[in-house]
Amino acid sequence: MTFKAFSSIILIAIAAARVASASLTKRVLCPSGHLTANAACCILFPISDDIQANLFDGGQCVEEVHESLRLTFHDANGFSPTFDETQVFHADDGIADILGAQEPFFLKFDDKLSAGDSIQFAGAIGLSNCPGAPGLEFLLGRPTGRASAASPRGLIPEPQDNITTILQQFAEVGFTPAEAIALIASHTIAAPHNVNESPAVRTPFDSTPGIFDTQIFIEMQSRGTLFPGATGNLLGESRLQTEFRAAMSKMATIGHNRAAMVDCSDVIPVPKPVTMDDIEQACATSAFPVLTADLGPATSALPV
């Protein structure tokens, strides 16, 4: 059997398994033409299209994506857009910009989504535009906020906080140190805000702000990097995605009853993969070298 034939068999088997799996899940055809596991999620497809087109520049990993992801943290961990007072908190510097950008969507869809749902949905949709990112879970059903007082100060970790303080803040809402570190991965597409306005220090946290990868952990090391070894770092990249997704799912539902919410994760687009355009085969200043090879004598193989 040739390798090509063997590969075809494997692909057919995988396709058959997917079809069998899909057949076990009841799907609903939405008016928009999309399929989803729950009819309650149908309202989200037009909203997603609107957000992608008018907030995220047609589905790009742009600044508004970075800001929307940041807003999911502040909303889930002590911040709500219904409290104008919290905008003066130091940790919330710069939040007003993305709130202003998202406000038209809050108002346009307030009969379909609560502010909490809208914030978490926009964050999940936006992250899907960044190559390398995991597809986030999205549960629909956060109630409209009715709190009578603003969130207390100090619930959002700040850059100057020490590790003990940050981990303690996460622990108070049920996060382990490992989960807190997983959430730090969000900074791979981030940059500092209102810490220092000098252009030299407003650069992104790593050299690949448009890609969700482990570069943030590599480049923040004080003494550079170490060779990952002959086994490579693919496992680490996979863990980055799975552990970040799990931690984000937990954070996005703090204080909510997951059993009372609707799983609309299949509305979130599949994150963009890395393509051949991301591969640098040669230096930008020179063409890829032309390689020659000596064909040598013809070879033959005995029949099997």
Q: Which residues contact 54 (CB under 8 A, 6 or more apart)?
A: none
Is residue 206 part of an annotated ligand binding site?
Answer: yes
Distance CA 199, CA 191 (A): 11
Is residue 193 part of an annotated ligand binding site?
Answer: no
Length of the chain measured in residues: 304
Distance CA 214, CA 166 (A): 21
Please report, for residues 10, 269, 297, the alpha-carbon distance to residue 118 in angstroms, rounded to integers and kept in the order given: 41, 16, 67
Distance from CA of residue 178 to its chain's centroid?
A: 18
CA atoms within 13 A on the CB side of 258: 9
**Could you give the residue ranges of the DSSP H alpha helices within the chain?**
3-23, 44-54, 63-76, 95-108, 115-127, 163-172, 177-184, 215-219, 234-252
Distance CA 41, CA 257 (A): 18
Distance CA 189, CA 277 (A): 19
Distance CA 52, CA 294 (A): 52
Distance from CA of residue 159 to its chain's centroid?
A: 21
Q: Which residues contact 192 (CB under 8 A, 6 or more apart)?
A: 159, 201, 202, 205
3-class state of residue 92 by DSSP: helix
* Residue 74 is a catalytic residue: yes
Is residue 75 part of an annotated ligand binding site?
Answer: yes
Is residue 253 part of an annotated ligand binding site?
Answer: no
Q: Which residues contact 281 (CB under 8 A, 6 or more apart)?
A: 288
Q: How many CB atoms lie within 10 A of CB 48?
A: 21
Catalytic residue among 74, 90, 193, 256: 74
Binding residues: 75, 187-188, 206, 208, 213
Residues with a known catalytic role = 74
Bind-site residues for heme b: 187
**Positions at the binding site for Ca(2+):** 75, 188, 206, 208, 213
